[in-house]
Structure 1
Amino acid sequence: MENEAAVRMVGARKVYGSGETEVKALDGVDLSIGRGRFTAVMGPSGAGKSTLMHCAAGLDPLSGGQVFVGKVELGELTERQLTVLRRERLGFVFQAFNLLPTLPAIDNIVLPLTLGGRRPDPGWLTAVVDAVGLGDRLRHRPSELSGGQQQRVAIARALVTRPEVVFADEPTGALDSRTGEEILAFLREAVTELGRTVVMVTHEPTAAAYADEAVFLVDGRVDDVMAGPAADKVLDRMKALGER
Structure 2
Amino acid sequence: MTGERSAAARAVGATKVYGSGAAEVRAIDDVTIAFDAGRFTAIMGPSGAGKSTLMHCVAGLDTVSSGQVFVGDVELGSLSDRQLTVLRRERIGFVFQSFNLLPALDAEENITLPLTLAGTRPDRAWIDAVVATVGLGDRLSHRPAELSGGQRQRVAVARALASRPQIIFADEPTGNLDSRTGAEILTFLREAVDELGQTIVMVTHDPVAAAYADAAVFLADGRVRDRVEGPTARTVLDRMSAFEAETMGRSR
Q: 2:92 aligns with which of 73, 90, 93?
A: 90
In structure 2, what is the equivalent of residue 59 of structure 1? Answer: 61
Shift of 1:157: 0.4
TM-score after normalising by structure 2 = 0.96
Aligned length: 244
Percent of matched pairs sharing the same residue:
70
Letter in 1 for 2:54: L
For structure 1, the 5+ residue unaligned runs are: none
Are the equivalent residues in 2 in contact too, given 1:43–1:216 (CA < 8 A)? yes
Are the equivalent residues in 2 in contact too, given 1:184–1:210 (CA < 8 A)? yes
In structure 1, what is the equivalent of residue 109 of structure 2? Answer: 107
Instruction: Confirm whether residue 148 of structure 1 aligns to residue 150 of structure 2.
Output: yes
SS of equivalent to 1:93: strand
Q: 2:178 aligns with which of 171, 176, 179?
A: 176
Shift of 1:96: 0.3
1:66-105 per-residue CA deviation (whole Å, 9 max, x = no partner) reads 0011111001001100000000000000000111111100
Whole-Å separation in 1 of the counterparts to 2:37 and 2:117: 27
Are the equivalent residues in 2 in contact too, given 1:2–1:34 (CA < 8 A)? no
In structure 2, what is the equivalent of residue 9 of structure 1? Answer: 11
In structure 2, what is the equivalent of residue 186 of structure 1? Answer: 188
In structure 1, what is the equivalent of residue 167 of structure 2? Answer: 165
Whole-Å separation in 2 of the counterparts to 1:6 and 1:142: 31
Whole-Å separation in 2 of the counterparts to 1:32 and 1:167: 14
Are the equivalent residues in 2 in contact too, given 1:2–1:36 (CA < 8 A)? no
Letter in 2 for 1:243: A
In structure 2, what is the equivalent of residue 44 of structure 1? Answer: 46
In structure 1, what is the equivalent of residue 249 of structure 2? Answer: none
In structure 1, what is the equivalent of residue 239 of structure 2? Answer: 237
Whole-Å separation in 2 of the counterparts to 1:119 and 1:147: 28
Whole-Å separation in 2 of the counterparts to 1:192 and 1:74: 28
Query: Residues 157 and 6 from structure 1, CA distance in 2 versus in 1: closer, same or farther, beyond 3 angstroms?
Result: same
Shift of 1:20: 1.2
Letter in 2 for 1:220: G
TM-score after normalising by structure 1 = 0.99
Letter in 2 for 1:193: E
Are the equivalent residues in 2 in contact too, given 1:47–1:219 (CA < 8 A)? yes
Are the equivalent residues in 2 in contact too, given 1:6–1:33 (CA < 8 A)? yes
In structure 2, what is the equivalent of residue 32 of structure 1? Answer: 34
In structure 1, what is the equivalent of residue 78 of structure 2? Answer: 76
Are the equivalent residues in 2 in contact too, given 1:102–1:141 (CA < 8 A)? yes
Letter in 1 for 2:85: T
Which structure 2 residues correspond to residues 114-133 of structure 1 after superposition, within 5 A? 114-133=116-135
Shift of 1:2: 6.8
Are the equivalent residues in 2 in contact too, given 1:93–1:171 (CA < 8 A)? yes
Whole-Å separation in 1 of the counterparts to 2:180 and 2:85: 35
SS of equivalent to 1:99: coil
1:217-236 per-residue CA deviation (whole Å, 9 max, x = no partner) reads 01000000000001101001
Whole-Å separation in 2 of the counterparts to 1:52 and 1:118: 30
